[in-house]
Every structure is written in structure tokens, then in C-alpha cells.
Amino acid sequence: MFESEPESAADPEDADPTTAKPRLERQRILKAGADFIEQFGVRQLTMRRLGTELGVEAMSLYRYVPSRESLLDGIVETVIDQLYEDPEVYVEPRHGWQDYLLRLAHGLRRLALAHPQVFPLIATRPAEAPWVRPPLRSLRWVESFLKALTSTGFSEKAAVDAYRAFSSFLIGHLLLEVAAMGADVGPVEEAEPHPPKEADLGGYPLLQRLQKLLSEDHSAQEFEESLENLLDRLENLAG
Amino acid sequence: MFESEPESAADPEDADPTTAKPRLERQRILKAGADFIEQFGVRQLTMRRLGTELGVEAMSLYRYVPSRESLLDGIVETVIDQLYEDPEVYVEPRHGWQDYLLRLAHGLRRLALAHPQVFPLIATRPAEAPWVRPPLRSLRWVESFLKALTSTGFSEKAAVDAYRAFSSFLIGHLLLEVAAMGADVGPVEEAEPHPPKEADLGGYPLLQRLQKLLSEDHSAQEFEESLENLLDRLENLAG
DNA sequence: GGATCTTGCTTACGACGTAAGCAAAGCATG
DNA sequence: CATGCTTTGCTTACGTCGTAAGCAAGATCC
């Protein structure tokens, strides 16, 4: 995992971040935090534990992060910033707004599925400004979104409406999808891997009969269909 | 507010609940917890504080609640159980499935707006069974939903699809709506009432220009329109 | 009179987040 | 070289948390 001490270096451009610890920078902490959450859940992330994870005392982290809360904020931020590194997602529309939105939606879904434990934080943590909604949590992405639409035929009002519709669609779908994966913004879950947690279906005959149907996973396909439906609806706004 | 719990004995009829403490029952604790969260946020809710709120030591609560986590679960449960007391919402369809869904959706929205601080918990806490989605968190409601649809022309598969679409629609809309109200599943926020938190819009010209448009609140109307659109879509599933 | 329950209090333990100060190591200057 | 400043991480310490364990006072029933 770690251990190996080529310390010194100092080179701020980190050519290869996987080799050894390059002196505990903010990015390294946030990355480790994200990984930790993905592995053990938010509840398990404490300053002390993250410290030992990085081979360092808890208090050392405070040089780079003012508090646990802002650590979480930072983690959320770095995770959604990965959208910029997704080669499938364009910050500017290249083949029309539909293509732009499709790529953006798929990129966000990929992000959510890659970070099922972090995603609920993305969804519920307060944003930079009240009208910046999850999961597009940053001003930059909102700007990108609005620009993409207004530059391809949407009126400003239509673009804003589209932004709202898009946000709530994505948040709803992705949150439920990662929740179904066993996301765990809440209880501890300790060492138990996952007891099937069979509920008592006595008295719920329909549930009993439809249980199989209900537990089938069509998320990907549902996502696709609903997304297309959304785009169709937006087409009417475009004008 | 409500009584009708013949618990064990000892006269559960409480003449005047506001004057003195009527012996600390589970329901009383959960109600107090919900109120507390609504007033100060989840983060502020500790066993000790809830204890003193009820005029009791923290450890006394453990007679009725096995842990803080399950306290939160209980609070979530009692809040969504209020749906049953909403006279506008029917457990069985009386005027067709559209009417049923409209009433259900509006009832849930009322609930969310009445408990903006608790609602994110409703949205993110793990449910009884993996396929029971928020915000219809209980087996009873899922059963009711499925029965309403299958008894009014939906095939079983269509009813399940409708259930999923309905869930993700509601969760998306309501979560964003309460988040916009300043819901706070996360940071502490302490005593500060709400600093405007003006973000720096330098470099985001579109955001600057559309800020007013973006911060306008059309939630109610948006909700109505999207809900109707959803119902239209479901009509195609009905057959 | 016991017994046995029920209820709430008391004490205590091992986390936790984090304030405050300290030690060592890197650096620039004389 | 010594000097001092800055950066980094460690140490210690405080108050708060969730909660295990045991206790005391009443209620209930024999």
C-alpha cells in the first residue's frame, strides 16, 4: 500500500501519484478521504483514522483542511471535478445540445456509480450558491450548461428551465440508483458485510408476488429511457 | 396531536400534553426528536440534548430507543406515517389512479415542505427492503401504490415501472426543493441564521446575467407541470 | 411482608473534533 | 558559520459524544 520513502523530490507537478507519499498535500488528503469513504462509508471517516491512513497524526491534517466538515466539502468537490477528466464529457457542446446533455448525464452517472458512497454527499451537501443544484455542484458547470443551451437555440428562460429539469431528473435517478447499491449515509453497518435484511412481507400480498419484479435491476435501461424522454421534453422548450 | 395508542395500560389518555411530562413514551420521544431536528438540524440532535429537551437524562431515552441511529430511523418513520393522517391522501384509489397519484404526490410534497430538515433523512436512510424506495419508505405504502395501479388497469410490470418512475421523480424534485429552503444535512451552521453566502461570479457571465432567473422560485408550478407530464407518460404504460 | 418489574439516574469508558503550543527541518539572510 | 523565519508534523488537553453497567425508587402482584 504505502511505505517507501523517496520523500524529498518537491516537484509540485506530480508525474506519478501512485508511487509514494509526496509530502501530504491537500489533494492527497482529499483523494485519500474519498477512497476511505468509498471503502468504509462516511460515518467511519474520522480525522484520526484518515490520519493513520496517511501515516500521520490527526492534527496534521488541520494544516491543509480547516475542519472535518470542510474536508467533506473538499472531497465532494474533488470527486465532481473528475468530470473534467472524463474524455466523453465536453465542457462545450460539439454536436448540439442533445449530445452535450447526453454526455453530461452519462458522465455524471458514471461518477455516481464509481463513487456510490460519496454521491449522496454530492446530493445533499449545501452548494456554493442556493441556485446551484446538485449534482452539478459547481458554478463552472452551471455556466457551462447554460452556455451550451443558450448557444444552441434555447432562450435564457428555457435554458434555466432545462437546467432545473435536468438537475432534478439526475438527482432522483442517481440517488436511488446508488442507494440501491447499498450506499450508507447513515447507519454504521460495522463489520457485517450485508445481511439480506429480509423484511416480513406478511400482509402485503402484492409485494410478495411482485418482489422479483421489484428487485430486478433495470437501472441502466430506465436511465436511458427517462433521459431520452427528458430530452424530448426539452426539445419543446428549445424553440 | 394524536393519541390512540393503547400501549400497555396506565391511562394513555393525556388530558393536557403541554403542561407536564406524561411519562416519556416512545412516541413522545420520536415526536420531540422530529421537532428538535426541524428546529436545529440533525447534526445538533444528540441524546443528551434531546434528553434535557424532555426533562430527562440522556440514558433514560435508551429504555425506548436502542441507539441514536434507530432514533433517527424512528423519527423518519413517524414523519412519513403522517401521510396516513393527511385527509387529502387516500390509501386506496377512489377516483382513478391519476387522482390517487396526484394526491399521493401532493401529500408527500406537503410532508417534505413541512419537515424540510427531516426530509433528506427520508431520502437517504436505508429502507426496510432494498426495493422499497424513498420517499415511499414503507412496505405499506408500496403495497398501496401497487394495488392502486394494478386495480385500475396497470399490468404488474407497468405498475412496477410506474412505481420506479414516480419515486425518482418525487425524490428528485422534493430533495432539491427542501435543499433550496436551506436544509442542512451536513455542516453545523451553529448560531448564524443564514449568511447570504454570496458566491463570486467573476468569470461566469451567463450566471451573472441569469442569476435573477435562476433564483426565482417556481417550485410549486414546476412540480405541478412535471407531475402532470409524468402522469401523461404513465398513461402510456397503463394500456 | 416480600418478589418482581418498570422507570429513570448515576457513573464511567473510549471515541470524537479540535484549540494550543512545541520541536525539528528547510530555507534565506547576515 | 550562525541567525532567524517558515513550514511541517507531533503532543497534550478539553469538552462532547454514544452508550455499557449498575443502582435506586416506585409500582404491581403474590
User: The CATH number of the domain where A48 resides is what?
Assistant: 1.10.10.60
Cβ contact A126–B186 (<8 Å): yes
Q: Are residues B147 and B36 in the same domain?
A: no
Look at residue A191 and tell me if it is in a domain: no
Q: Are residues B49 and B104 in the same domain?
A: no
Residue B23 pLDDT greater than 70, yes or no: no
Look at residue A190 and tell me if it is in a domain: no
Look at residue A189 and tell me if it is in a domain: no
Look at residue B196 and tell me if it is in a domain: no
Q: Are residues A30 and A114 in the same domain?
A: no
Taking 3-state DSSP, the helix, strand and coil percentages for chain B, each rounded to the nearest 5, stand at 60, 0, 40
Q: How far is the CA of A8 from the C1' of C19 (A)?
A: 31
Look at residue A8 and tell me if it is in a domain: no
The CATH number assigned to the domain holding B168 equals 1.10.357.10
B54 vs A122: CA distance, rounded Å = 34
Amino acid identity for residue A211 in this structure: Q
Look at residue A20 and tell me if it is in a domain: no
Q: Are residues A124 and A143 in the same domain?
A: yes
Evaluate the CA torsion angle A176, B111, B7, B17 in order and state its sign: positive
Range of the domain at A44: 26-80
A155 vs B156: CA distance, rounded Å = 41
Nearest alpha carbon to residue B107 among B130, B80, B127:
B80
Q: Are residues A160 and A51 in the same domain?
A: no
Query: Which letter does DSSP use for residue B138 in this model?
Result: S
Residues of B in contact with A168 (CB under 8 A): 169, 172-173, 176, 226
Q: Are residues B134 and B217 in the same domain?
A: yes
Q: How many domains does chain A have?
A: 2
Closest nucleotide to the alpha carbon of A54, via C1': D9
Which nucleotides of strand D are protein-proximal, with an atom < 7 A from a CB? 8-12, 16-22, 28
Q: Are residues B138 and B167 in the same domain?
A: yes
Q: Name the CA dihedral angle for B184, B128, B109, B189, rounded to a multiple of 10 degrees.
A: -10
Quick check: A28 and A35 in contact, CB under 8 A? no
**Average pLDDT in the A131-144 region?**
94
Look at residue B76 and tell me if it is in a domain: no
Q: Are residues B33 and B146 in the same domain?
A: no
Quote the mean pLDDT of chain B.
85
Q: Are residues A68 and A106 in the same domain?
A: no
Q: What is the pLDDT of residues A3-45, one digit of tens each?
A: 333 333 333 333 333 333 344 489 999 999 999 999 999 999 9
A30 vs A72: CA distance, rounded Å = 8
Q: Are residues B52 and B111 in the same domain?
A: no
Q: What is the pLDDT of residues A158-215, one digit of tens each?
A: 999 999 999 999 999 999 999 988 644 433 333 333 444 566 788 999 999 999 999 9
Of all residues in chain B, the one with the smallest CA distance to A117 is: B124
Interacting residues of B51 by C-beta distance below 8 A, sequence separation 6+: B57, B58, B59, B60, B61
Terminal Cα-to-Cα distance of chain B (whole angstroms): 43
Look at residue B90 and tell me if it is in a domain: yes
Q: Are residues B94 and B211 in the same domain?
A: yes
Q: Is A187 on the interface with B (CB under 8 A)?
A: yes
Q: How far is the CA of A46 from the C1' of C17 (A)?
A: 9
Q: Are residues A51 and A121 in the same domain?
A: no
Evaluate the CA torsion angle A112, A175, B66, B46 in order and state its sign: positive
